[in-house]
Amino acid sequence: MYKRKTLMFLAIALLVTACGFSVPYTDNHPIGGEIELPAYSNAEDIVRHEGYTASYNHTTLCPDWVAWELTADEANGQVDGQYSFSRDPMVNSPKASREDYSRSGWDKGHMAPRADMRWSTQALEESYFFTNICPQDHAMNSGAWRKIEELTRRMARRHGSVLAVCGPLYTSHAHGTIGSAAVQVPDAFYKALAVKTADGWQTVGYVVDNSPQDGSPRRYAVSVDSVETLVSLSRGVATDLFPTLPDDTERTFDPSFWH
C-alpha cells in the first residue's frame, strides 16, 4: 500500500516537472531558483503569482501549500490600496468564493500575508485570490498567527531573506465546511521557515490550532520534520517542505536563533 502511494507520488512529481515545474524565476530573489517550493502536491493546480506559488486543492477548496521567498526589501514594502477577495483566474473550477465565507464566522485568512506583498501592486492584489485563502479563526489569525507573520518579516529584515511555506492541516474535520461550495475548514495550520546564514541553514516550523490562539511563536514552534509528518498524515502524500535543503537541517530548530 505504501509502495503504491510512493509510486503515485513519484509519477505525479515527474508529470509536474514535465509540465514546467522547474521553470526558473525571473525575479531578483537572492536565494531564488524556486528553492522555496515543497516537493508534494495532489496534482492539483500549481499556480504561480508574482509574490507566491500555491498548490490549490479542488476538494478542500483551499491551498495545500503556499510558498514564497520574502526579502528584506519586500518586507519593507509600502504599497497601499484596498483590494477585495476574488477568485483566481488561473484556477479552474471548482473554487471558493466570497459567498462561502460571508457570515460563516470564519476569517478569510491569508496564507502568504498581505503585509508580505506590499512591495508590488500586482503582488498585493494577487494575495487576495482564494488560492491564498483559508477559513481561519479570527482570534487566531489576528493573534498567534499574526505574531508568527511578524516574526517572519523581522527575520527577513535581519537576515536578508526568508523562505516560507504554510498551509492547512486536516485531522478530525471537526469544523465541517462552509458555504454552498463546501469549503473545508482546517483543524490547524502549519508554517515552515528557512534562513540561510553564514553558518548554514536555520529552519523552524509552527503548528497552530484553528481556534482562539494568542500565544507567542515559541509556544507553537516545532521542527520542520514534525511539520512534515503532520502534513503527510493530513494529505496522505509524502512531504518535503524544503526539498533542496539538507535533511539534517530540518530535524531540529534553534530557539535562540528564532525567538
Partner DNA sequence: CGGCCCTAATTT
Partner DNA sequence: AAATTAGGGCCG
Please give the residue ranges that form the binding site for DNA (CB under 7 A): 82-87, 97-99, 101-103, 106-110, 113-115, 118, 136, 138, 141-143, 146-147, 149-150, 214, 216
State the minimum distance, in angstroms, from the CB of residue 252 to DNA: 25
State the minimum distance, in angstroms, from the CB of residue 173 to DNA: 20
Residue (55 or 132) nearer to DNA, CB: 132
State the minimum distance, in angstroms, from the CB of residue 85 to DNA: 7
Residue (133 or 237) nearer to DNA, CB: 133
End-to-end Cα distance, the chain? 41
The grid coordinates listed for 63 are: 491551498
Residue (212 or 246) nearer to DNA, CB: 212
State the minimum distance, in angstroms, from the CB of residue 151 to DNA: 10
Give the number of other CB atoms < 10 A from CB of residue 30: 10
Detail the DSSP E strand segments found in the chain.
45-48, 53-57, 62-71, 107-110, 133-136, 161-169, 177-178, 183-184, 188-197, 200-209, 221-222
Residue (110 or 226) nearer to DNA, CB: 110
Cβ(5)–Cβ(238) below 8 Å: yes
Residue (135 or 237) nearer to DNA, CB: 135
Residue (183 or 245) nearer to DNA, CB: 183
d(CA 245, CA 204): 13
The grid coordinates listed for 95 are: 473554487
The grid coordinates listed for 76 are: 519593507
Cβ(170)–Cβ(184) below 8 Å: yes
State the minimum distance, in angstroms, from the CB of residue 220 to DNA: 14
C-alpha distance from residue 209 to each of 30, 44, 56, 171, 219 (Å): 33, 25, 21, 11, 12
State the minimum distance, in angstroms, from the CB of residue 106 to DNA: 6
